[in-house]
Structure 1
Amino acid sequence: MVRWLATLSRYDQQWFCWCSQRSQSFQQQRWIRVLSRTGDGHCYALIALLLGSTSAAPGNAFVLTLAAGFSIEIPLFILIKRWLKRPRPYQTLSITAVIRAHDQFSFPSGHTTAAFLFAGIASSFYPAWTPLWMSWATGVGLSRILLGVHYPGDILAGAVLGSGLAFIALQLIS
């Protein structure tokens, strides 16, 4: 198992380096940083309040489902990060992160987990906007790689975890 994880980590680092070499022009573009910031917690609360206030019954269920999802997601991703303690790319590779990470460990990406959790729940309540929600969540994840704070595997794990938690939250509240 340990050998398998070491191999996976090595490929993840190689993939990160490949992405990093091609992302120099993106790193200085403000919109990449803004996209990453939309994955911060306060944006979810703002969007939930805006969408939740548009229609009483679906809006209330939407906000309740988000609350259930995030009440599971936050402690779970913190627990996983503290258990695995995977260093961030700028801590182990000779790169400089463009932004400051919120915490010390990288796996899984909390921003990506939260973005896919939100996108999954929002897609269930506002299905016409599913392409927008999923494109945005993917963009948040990719921005974290481009800014040098996550490996691609962190993003993939965050997307899977967030999507799974969205499914669980929807089942709990329905």
Structure 2
Amino acid sequence: MSAIRLVTAFDLLTFNWCLGLPKAAQIASVSRQVSRLGDGVLYLFIGFALALFEQQFGLLFLLVGLFAYAIELPLYLILKNTIKRDRPCDSLPFEAYIVPSDKFSFPSGHSAAAFVFAALVAHFYPEFSAVSYVLAVAIGMSRVLLGVHYPTDILAGAVLGLSSAATAIALIPFLSLMV
């Protein structure tokens, strides 16, 4: 079996299992709220709040975060619009619990953004790393449970987010000169 067929089989099996859970509709209700945490407003709010009120790393956290998202967002858009993988709700016989904001699913932008934020929190405030990564995983899972992403979309988003954050973190010595 080719790698693409294996990934597709995994995605379909996992996706169908998630959406076939006995309380999928109730889970989707909670997933909607979790997914909204990944829309970006919370990240901006926390970044600006830290920049204003946290003296040690707050401003640097905001600058590195803005740089990381400046890396992540264009890459996400290029990948999504080059690969053009249909969303599960557009290629499988079921209706998603939400209306997605765009047409394609790979990679997950919510997951990419959530993992950028989690990696930044883990770097600057390691005591909150477990909470931030659990939240990032929950945001990614919520997108599958809402029927708008396959599991590998989430995995690709996580890799994109972590890579973008790692690149921005590696450039901290240069960004520190701006503070």
TM class by smaller structure? over 0.9
| Correspondence list, 1:152-163, <5 A | 152-163=151-162
Instruction: Write the deviation string for residues 78-127 of structure 1: whole angstroms up to 9, x where unpaired.
Output: 00001100000000111111111111100010000000011101111111
- Determine whether 1:172 maps to 2:174: no
Q: Which moved more, 1:72-81 or 1:52-61?
A: 52-61
Cα deviation for residue 18 of structure 1 reads 1.1
Structure 1 unaligned residues grouped into runs of 5+: none
How many residue pairs get aligned? The number is: 171
Determine whether 1:18 maps to 2:17. Answer: yes
TM-superposed CA distance for 1:57, in Å, is 4.2
1:81 counterpart residue number: 80
Offset of residue 172 of structure 1: 1.4
Q: Which deviates further from its counterpart, 147-156 or 18-27?
A: 18-27
**Match status 1:118 vs 2:108:** no
Distance 2:135 2:6 in 1: 30
Q: Percent identity?
A: 40
Q: 2:107–2:156: 8 Å Cα contact kept in structure 1?
A: yes
Q: Specify the alignment match of 2:177 in structure 1.
A: none
- Spell out, residue by residue over 1:24-80, the C-alpha distance to the aligned partner (whole angstroms, 9 max, x if none): 4312x2x32111011012221111112222223411100000011000111100000
Following the alignment from structure 2 to structure 1, what is the Cα–Cα distance between the partners of residues 64 and 120? Answer: 7
1:167 and 1:112 map into 2 onto residues whose CA distance is 15
d(CA) in 2 for partners of 1:153 and 1:7?
Answer: 11
- 4+ long deviations beyond 6 Å: none
**Structure 1, residues 138-159: CA drift from partner, whole Å, max 9, x if none?**
1100100110010011111111
Q: AA paired with 2:26?
A: S
1:14 positional shift: 1.9
| In 1, Cα distance between equivalents of 2:52 and 2:125 | 13
Alignment match, 1:70: 69
Contact 2:50 2:59 in 1 (8 A): no
The range that moved more, 58-67 or 4-13, is 4-13
1:149 is aligned to 148
Comparing 3-12 with 76-85, greater Cα deviation is found at 3-12
The aligned runs of 1:26-105 (5 Å cut-off) are 26-27=27-28, 29=29, 31-105=30-104
Indicate conservation of the 8 Å contact 1:64/1:173, yes or no.
no
Looking at structure 2, the residues matched to 4 and 103 of structure 1 have their Cα atoms a distance apart, in angstroms, of 27
Gaps of 5+ in 2: 174-179
**Structure 2 partner of 1:140:** 139
